[in-house]
Structure 1
């Protein structure tokens, strides 16, 4: 099934598990995208969401880590080095998603609880680094959120 992540063609609460890997940084409205995943997940079900956060070394995707110097500058460098345009453009198909903001958004909801918020690629850091504001934005690289849908 191919569908719009903002408008999934599924009834409320039909999925035991919903899964999104490295999509959140490609949607303009992450809270709405997450709301749709939560909507289709049954009470007690799990929502797995992982994403590359903007301030991580891979936040700029193919033009990382030069995104630290600015998105347009990084894209121009990519064009000079490869002779072609980068496939990602900040504000069009790549968006600056941050761990702290995302955690506040999901923790502020009453329809999910956070089961785990951890570094996906640094298992030895696991949940520890995610608890350190500032550091988590650079050191996590890719956040894995596991949420549980609460009963209504």
Structure 2
């Protein structure tokens, strides 16, 4: 059974437009942006788990690698899951609902490339839009597989560098080159971008992610996260996928 069976039915053009239109609020209104993204992410994980295992997601433990300030915690908790968020940056960890009274879930300060968890210790390991911010993204991926129990699910989603959102707040200037785009942003705004090329943003390609995932023997599916189902074929086309996929989801079962 393909794990994307149920999620494919949800991947409509209306959903894509709604998510893409919210991107402009990422820094100006993070509650609005991450709230919508959290709801969609829980629905995606629920669909993938149910199709892959034939069992409900409620009662399962999800480890969110790079969970930041915990916008996802409430959404996963509402789905009946035990949420554990991992974040290396204390500024990010205390920037949102994880720092507020009544926040749900458990939060751990740690690096995604050296997770402080035992082998085979969680049902689901998720990393949403983090790999492009890590100098060694596939070390992060290997750690995700290590802590996920056999028969569980690892879901690694990241922004493809050559896609339209690869430059994050630098916009399309990343097509001029990452270092040049960061310097241009600094001149215009008077400060370095939050997602600064070479330190907190890296050029991660679709082909590199697919090559790593296939090498693990655990890859069961891959698709463009924000595209409607009828555009998923783009993932299979070398070259074109680097420009058009935008955000690649790798679904693995150790």
> Is TM-score (shorter-chain normalized) higher than 0.5?
yes
Report the 3-state secondary structure (helix = DSSP H, G, I; strand = E; otherwise coil) of the residue aligned with 1:49. Answer: strand
Trace 1:41-80 onto structure 2 (pairs within 5 A).
41-80=148-187
Cα deviations by residue, 1:40-99 (Å, 9 ceiling, x for unpaired): 000011001110011011111111211101123212332233333212222211111111
Q: Offset at 1:122?
A: 0.8
Aligned partner of 1:94 in structure 2 is 201
* Separation in structure 2 between the aligned mates of residue 63 and residue 131 of structure 1, nearest angstrom: 28
Supply the distance in 1 between the matched residues of 2:116 and 2:231 (Cα, whole angstroms).
34
Show the counterpart of 2:248. 143
SS of structure 2 residue aligned to 1:97: coil
Write out the 4+ residue segments of structure 1 that deviate beyond 6 Å after TM superposition: none
Higher relative contact order (CA 8 A, sep 6+): 1
Residue of structure 1 in register with 2:44 after alignment: none
Among candidates 115, 128, 139, match of residue 233 of structure 2: 128
Match of 2:253, SS state, is strand
Instruction: Give how far 1:32 is off.
Output: 0.9
Partner of 2:229, secondary structure, is coil
Greater helix proportion = 2
Give the Å deviation of 1:119.
0.6
1:28 aligned residue (131, 135, 152): 135
Aligned residue among 126, 147, 151 for 1:19: 126
Mapped to 2, the partners of 1:97 and 1:134 lie a distance apart of 14
Q: Is 27-36 or 77-86 further displaced after alignment?
A: 77-86
Largest Rg, 1 or 2: 2
SS in 1 for 2:150: strand
**Could you list the runs of 5+ residues in structure 1 that have no partner in the other structure?**
none
